[in-house]
Amino acid sequence: MHPPKPVLDRLLRAAAEVRRNAYAPYSRFPVGAAVLAGGRVHAACNVENSSFPLGVCAERNAVAMAVAAGAQRIEAVAVVGGGDRPAAPCGGCRQVIAEFAPADAPVIYATPDGEVIATTVGALLPFAFGSADLKAAEPGSTRSPAVPSPGKARSAARARASRTSGR
Ligand SMILES: [Zn+2]
């Protein structure tokens, strides 16, 4: 069940609002993100650091806020950032979002001027690595041998790729 448009609009507004608090003195690329989880909006901005690799994206901060509030299922994501074109979540954030959101959860990302692109978690991160992959590697699992031969590993990857997204 997807959140209705007014809820997604509210999510987008929350992302645009929190973007104003972004701490992005180095990239000068402020981003705001909001996730819908447990019916509540959790919004956060990017927070950079003079030690550059320690900066954290807005999306990951928003996910962390939702989890800290006790929510572990994300229903939708909104991101506001970029200049002339909407900036999609980076690869790392896609993986973090996929940990808590089903593949069909909507992701909308927009410029501050309101140009919006709508997609889904699964479209942004097809064939995502997830907890099911770890379970399949547990000893005693029938789905994956402890020491796969290269040929078998390849066919398993093919089988996974041909399956439709089943999260
Ligand atoms: Zn990111």
Q: What is the pTM of this model?
A: 0.83
Same domain, 35 and 58: yes
Strand pairing category for 106-110 and 40-45: unpaired
Q: State the CATH number of the domain containing residue 57.
A: 3.40.140.10
Same domain, 13 and 73: yes
Going by pLDDT thresholds of 50, 70 and 90, the confidence category of residue 160 is low
Same domain, 49 and 114: yes
Q: Which residues are catalytic?
A: 59
What's the gap in Å between 132 CA and the centre of ligand 1? 23
Domain that residue 151 falls in: 131-162
What's the gap in Å between 50 CA and the centre of ligand 1? 17
Same domain, 67 and 99: yes
In a domain, 105, yes or no: yes
Percentage of the chain lying above the pLDDT 70 cut: 84
Same domain, 74 and 120: yes
State how many domains the chain has: 2
Q: Tell me the pLDDT of the chain averaged across its residues.
A: 89
Q: Where are the alpha helices (DSSP H) in the chain?
A: 5-19, 58-68, 91-100, 121-124, 131-136, 150-162
